[in-house]
Amino acid sequence: MPDPSPSRTTPFSRPVRLFFALWPDFDTVRALTQWCQQAHGACGGRIMRADTLHLTLAFLGETAPALVQPLVDETRRRRIEPGQVILSRLGAFPRPRIVWAGPADDGDNPDEGAGRLASEHRQLWDWVAALHPARPETRFRPHVTLLRDADTRLLPPAPAQPIAWRFDRYVLVASAQDGRSRYQILAETLA
């Protein structure tokens, strides 16, 4: 994980871009890194740094500084049922030239994969909406960005071995865009 969550959040003096995400454990990062390499061999582009790989559950966008601490406090009070997501797909967003890994659209088990993530997304917005004016994304598309500036027309099939990602927490992240993505974890929820 990037900057481990500080016990006290650095106050922000300007609006800050926030999102909630699942942050992968070491084995998941290692597996995702192999997917990055394979996809890069076909599509080129820019491989995401291992320490920035994540799956966004809710995107809040630019947030007034005064809202940050209440979101941090509430995140720390929240709990998540541990779960697992199986990443078995490679997909692309052609316009931003992104190649991503994601769960199968939905398997038989709604407690895993895309169904489980959609449920976490909804539950998150249920409490965030009371603290933040952002609206939920119109369409939630769970994915881990692997490559940017890639030639998405050359998207290869997904690697044969799916990635079983066990999670037991989500994190609130601040993102600074200054040429390269820099993420700071502000708070995490625990099972």
Q: List contacts with ligand 2AM (CB under 6 A).
A: 19, 56, 59, 98, 137, 145, 175
Nearer to ligand 2AM, 56 or 63 (CB): 56
Sign of the C-alpha dihedral, residues 126, 128, 131, 134? negative
Least spacing, CB of residue 177 vs ligand 2AM, in Å: 8
Nearer to ligand 2AM, 59 or 127 (CB): 59
Q: Which two tokens stand for residue 23?
A: 């942050």
Catalytically annotated residue among 40, 54, 121, 132: 54
Distance between CA 80 and CA 189 in Å, rounded? 7
Least spacing, CB of residue 27 vs ligand 2AM, in Å: 21
Least spacing, CB of residue 59 vs ligand 2AM, in Å: 3
Least spacing, CB of residue 96 vs ligand 2AM, in Å: 7
Nearer to ligand 2AM, 31 or 92 (CB): 92
The sheet carrying 16-22 orders its strands as 55-63, 16-22, 171-177, 181-188
Distance between CA 143 and CA 100 in Å, rounded? 6
| Helices within the chain (DSSP H only) | 26-43, 65-77, 113-128
Q: Is 143 noted as a catalytic residue in this protein?
A: yes
Q: Tell me phi and psi for residue 136, to 5 degrees.
A: -60, 150
Q: Is 132 noted as a catalytic residue in this protein?
A: no
Nearer to ligand 2AM, 98 or 158 (CB): 98
Show which residues are catalytic. 54, 143
